[in-house]
Structure 1
């Protein structure tokens, strides 16, 4: 009944959405502590949306997320624990929002300074949590700007790390990525990206590859450019 092609019908039917949220809440059962806070109505809607409003699938997704959060404890990661990963500026939260009011994360892969899979992942998870905390009221998504200028295989993280990051983003932070712009990605990266499109199918339409120099040059110093790129 609630297939992706009919999603627009749900978008225009608050009563159906509310019923699905109540059904999911009942299916999950009693919660306490951080799990209770995490499973707000807004969060339940995100998980339902990510699973085409299928309550059973959304329930499984939330349960797996709660299990991950109970062991990984992303909400407890502090800056001083990951500061060494971010000292080169390879990833950071921008001081501006995009024109949709979304928090912007800027990533510069060429500034990679670590080979630690766990360190890289914890740093990104910290940024995700920080971005969510700083989302304006009523906004649930963030934007990514990924500047590949200067990138080379020498600073490329292992594919295992990349796969784990994709897994975390898709399964534990559904509907959080509003749009991602890839500036100046090397041809090798584009080839790898095409191969792995099926692994990021849920986010595929949110990813835009841009190569025109003026389009994003110094975007993090001239944020007004970002306000007019049609995102």
Structure 2
């Protein structure tokens, strides 16, 4: 009886039923287990252990309560699945990808700080809370002019934590370079902090040398600069969701996530200067002596159009149009970042990843160029973590097989698992509705890419709107400050009645008010894909075509 109850109420069994009801589950008899092992896999290989006293006591509870306790306790009993949990408010789950948090199993959707006090619920947010603690622990951060600047205000607020966490939390609490020298920690202290973090990260797992970049960021940038880079990276995202990307990419290791995030902020602000690429825009690149960037846009080497079955925006890449001599490596890298940043703006909650389709039709060795492939892989793995949902390689010729064997060796196993090869439109239909597959690929979407040139004066807001931009930046700084203060209280366990979610939504809306003053207009603005207030209309052209067809039929009737 006890063994049968254990099987029926095991956390793994109950959780699998919640997540995938149709999946085969273990039978109660050992004979059934052995016969169904091929279909159920590891789910049928669990062996019954002696029941502890707590489980025996649960036998006297009603079965519904016992099952509920088992599901809640699963987060603590099975760490491998639990550590994939995320905030409900920021990045909702999709079945089969991540293990859902306790409130999702129960069908609820609440802000992290309102989940209640159970151990399972606290386990859900422990990693993001730790990472936020490292970023906001010591001192409040304030604003100077329209830049997001940082300075100490009042005594430091230090939460109880291991000594290592205290050291890690100091780096964003240092004062700016402009302040008196006696208030800035000595270089030796900064170096020690960086070394403490580096010691916590396994060098063998540092594929892109981000520990070195992390140290360089601490040595060369003030907390104000790092803070400005962070909030510049947030844009219209939920701040919690941004942190969770780095946590998931580093398998919930907070130290590694911290190193990765600071290295990315350093890359965005110093190495690549992402904001310059965005603010310079197509209009400036069209007038530039180096025509490599704009040439790629005009030919439609890659473009963003439509969505897949999961609602993810799709980036189509026509590999046959790439020639190494057509553009410099710098122009190609800027173009790659431009496409990725534009794709980010197309993400709408709950969708948090994009799809990529490499159209390999007409591919030859003249189109092969390993440098941009390596750069794209680095962007996805190091600087845009958890941004790729699926990648389709369509109609790859046989000569690509040897090339793929090389490229696969560069890929992280998680990224490699998202890449699928398709040969026909039927294969693509597993990922993209036929109505959304371009006609040139065999689908029904009667749309073709055509570049619309920049319009004179389309970026006047960036030049003539300085006063409005100043007002909006001050407003955003106030929202940022409020979110940081609420986060500090939330990290220490104080509930705020949904205030953080409210401010996060204000930040999202506020970004779109600022957008015309920070980002140069793109072909997607000129064609109506981006609408007012960040409204996204991927298939707006279908309405016009529908009206044309209706008008033609009406004329025929007349």
Common fold: TM-score over 0.5: yes
Matched, 1:147 2:359: yes
Q: Cα gap change, 1:12/1:210 in structure 2, threshold over 3 Å: closer, same or farther?
A: same
Aligned length: 221
Counterpart CA distance in 1 for 2:352 and 2:84 is: 20
5+ residue gaps in structure 2? Answer: 1-75, 86-98, 102-120, 137-171, 173-225, 286-292, 429-433, 446-558
Counterpart CA distance in 1 for 2:335 and 2:241 is: 25
Q: CA RMSD in A?
A: 2.6
Q: Cα gap change, 1:176/1:90 in structure 2, threshold over 3 Å: closer, same or farther?
A: same
Q: How many Å apart are 1:28 and its aligned residue?
A: 3.5
5 Å matches for 1:78-227? 78-80=281-283, 81=285, 82-94=293-305, 96-113=306-323, 114-157=326-369, 159-200=370-411, 201-212=413-424, 215-216=427-428, 219-221=437-439, 222=443
What does residue 254 of structure 2 align with?
Answer: 55
Is contact 1:74–1:125 with CA below 8 Å preserved after alignment? yes
Q: How many Å apart are 1:86 and its aligned residue?
A: 1.8
What does residue 6 of structure 1 align with?
Answer: 81
Q: Cα gap change, 1:35/1:111 in structure 2, threshold over 3 Å: closer, same or farther?
A: same
What does residue 32 of structure 1 align with?
Answer: 227
5+ residue gaps in structure 1? Answer: 225-231
Deviates more, 1:176-185 or 1:77-86: 77-86
Query: In structure 2, the residue corresponding to 1:143 is in which secondary structure?
Result: strand
Of structures 1 and 2, the one scoring higher in RCO (CA 8 A, sep 6+) is 1
What does residue 227 of structure 1 align with?
Answer: none
Q: How many Å apart are 1:155 and its aligned residue?
A: 2.1
Measured against aligned partners, the alpha-carbon deviations of 1:85-119 in whole angstroms (never above 9, x if no partner) come to 2221110001x111211111000110115242222
What does residue 21 of structure 1 align with?
Answer: 128
Q: Cα gap change, 1:7/1:192 in structure 2, threshold over 3 Å: closer, same or farther?
A: farther
Is contact 2:359–2:395 with CA below 8 Å preserved after alignment? yes
Measured against aligned partners, the alpha-carbon deviations of 1:189-212 in whole angstroms (never above 9, x if no partner) come to 222222332321231111001123
What does residue 228 of structure 1 align with?
Answer: none
Q: Cα gap change, 1:184/1:63 in structure 2, threshold over 3 Å: closer, same or farther?
A: same
Query: Which structure: larger Rg?
Result: 2
Query: In structure 1, the residue corresponding to 2:421 is in which secondary structure?
Result: strand
Counterpart CA distance in 2 for 1:213 and 1:48 is: 36
Counterpart CA distance in 1 for 2:260 and 2:381 is: 10
Is contact 1:142–1:177 with CA below 8 Å preserved after alignment? yes
Is contact 1:51–1:57 with CA below 8 Å preserved after alignment? yes
Question: Normalising by structure 1, what TM-score?
Answer: 0.84
* Greater percentage in strand: 1
Q: How many Å apart are 1:19 and its aligned residue?
A: 2.0
